[in-house]
A and B are shown apart, each in its own frame.
Chain A
């Protein structure tokens, strides 16, 4: 471990209330959930934070249930728990599909949905799903609870409206009508960060969201509108190019990402076509 741990401090709250009080009175503190992002940073000396808040033991933040017509997933729910959840598989199969593609088993057993959101990487695999599902993020501080539409959560590259004295406590997802679709394109099946990731819903007004093609997850609204108005898929593919701003980096190039994004849009549109081979639920991934 490149970061010397002796100067590091960690607070160990027993309850959510304790945790929120510590964030208010002793902050700033970096929450530790499954640590699959934080410990990579610590092990490589790239994370400068020195004061931490261990929230892993806060069981109030775990679990999946349905309240009214809303699917509620606690922030500490792991990717593995989401993959196995019958409620998620039935109501939001594209999220189960996304979590199945996160890292490998060991990462899925530890990494959490709240951590994926808070970490805010543009390549986070759950993020396009939450954008396409029009989810809400529940944030709590010692003083308040507020609910932010997922589309308003990020304000820039790894920046969000979450305050340092807040925790993500849950994600709420209203019922999604229409066929759900998810596809991640990476270097290999496991452990690879997305080059392009897309989640989409085929309804009278389609919803399309992409990751790894801009500083934050992107909702392709003009593309959606064109398709809703009965526009040709080729036209939608052209519009999509103006809604994304991919870059060249170690994982891929701008040109390749643009090409893949266009192909994914086409694949979504044919896979979910109302007649012919359309199936309910989420597409099966082909490797």
Chain B
């Protein structure tokens, strides 16, 4: 016998959804079980590891610590919301930013909330709540740096004719840095 719950509505990856679940169910479990988006991972279940990171109203949060009631009326972005096309995703894949992949969705989402040109220090601080047991982090930092360079280059490109050179330079630089 399931009690009738009132629907809880939010915008998930750009689409409005409404779930009828216990209001204290973890956002993590609602995403995985009710919305069938299993890209969001559970590592520790206690806010330490960041594997469950999603973006709520522009801010990185641990979905294992959010009751779904507190997601009502918000905009939630999960890794699926990046559609595999985000520059960070390409850079992580190409430059050894992911190995087993458990930390990767959270890592990429957390990285996506850093400013346009984060320093290495800002990257370290911004990702301090995301633990990776495989990569040793260097591949991750490398990927984020390359992704931001590529983006800078694309930006320049749109304005001026310096595009090709900028992008090419970023690509070569990225390739050179590959282990």
Contacts and interface: CB of A to CB of B under 8 A. Distances in A.
Given A32-B67, A191-B129, A106 B61 contact: yes
A245 interface: no
B60 A106 contact: yes
B47 A40 contact: yes
A189 B128 contact: yes
A190 interface: yes
A interface, size bucket? 20 to 34
Given A1-B29, A8-B22, A54 B46 contact: no
B26 interface: yes
A36 interface: yes
A54 B69 contact: yes
B22 A39 contact: no
A64 B153 CA distance: 39
B129 A103 contact: yes
A110 B62 contact: yes
Contact of B64 (A32, A43, A104, A189): A43
A144 interface: no
Contacts of A39: 26, 47, 64-67
Given A35-B65, A110-B61, A43 B46 contact: yes
Nearest to A12: B69
B128 A105 contact: yes
Nearest to B63: A106
B178 to A, nearest CB: 28
Interface string A107-151: 101100000000000000000000000000000000000000000
A39 B22 CA distance: 15
A80 B45 contact: no
A109 B110 CA distance: 12
A154 interface: no
B70 A56 contact: yes
A255 interface: no
A152 B53 CA distance: 38
Interface of B: 3, 22-26, 29, 45-48, 50, 53, 59-62, 64-67, 69-70, 110, 113, 125-126, 128-130
6 contacts: A39-B64, A54-B23, A103-B47, A104-B129, A105-B110, A110-B62
Given A40-B47, A56-B70, A105-B110, A110 B65 contact: yes
A52 interface: yes
A47 B66 CA distance: 16
Contacts of B61: 106, 109-110
Given A8-B22, A10-B24, A36 B65 contact: yes
A52 B129 contact: no
A6 interface: yes
Given A104-B129, A105-B110, A191-B128, A40 B23 contact: no
B25 to A, nearest CB: 6
A250 interface: no
Contacts of A190: 125, 128-129
Contacts of B128: 104-105, 189-191
A186 to B, nearest CB: 12
A40 B64 CA distance: 9
A12 B67 CA distance: 12
Which of B65, B110, B113, B129 has its CB near the most chain A CB atoms (within 10 A)?
Answer: B65
A105 B24 contact: no
